[in-house]
Amino acid sequence: MITLTPEAAKQVKASIEQSNAPSLPLRFACQKQEDGSLHYAMGFDDEKRDDDITYTSEGINIVVSSLSHDLLKGTTLDYVELEDGQYNFIFLNPNDPNFRPPPSVTGGEVG
């Protein structure tokens, strides 16, 4: 399953309003690179494919192809401030070889 944090869902909903695409699902894609790292993509998609797998998280309809599904299983999309005033979506994917859980997930202390 793919989930969105409440912060990510709030930003996706704002994007839906700005793009005037209330009925389009959010599509996630993932591809393994030659070096083993994962490349992510997401966007609103009006094309339904036979192999699509669908989810709903935080009121957002999510679509992923069966090819990307195994790479994205267990992924959480978050929306965080990486630097002062700079917010970005981040993929928290336990299948990614570069994934390191945030300290709040592991119980570690923050800075």
Residue 70 CB-half CA count within 13 A: 3
> What pLDDT sits at residue 104?
59
Token look-up 């978050």 returns 78
- The residues, any chain, with a CB within 8 Å of residue 36's CB and separated by 6 or more, are 97
Query: CB–CB of 30/72 below 8 Å?
Result: yes
Domains annotated for the chain, with CATH where assigned, are: 3-101 (2.60.300.12)
Read off the tokens for 30: 């993932």
pTM beyond cutoff 0.75: yes
Read off the tokens for 91: 């993929």
> What pLDDT sits at residue 107?
46
Residue 111 has pLDDT above 50, yes or no: no
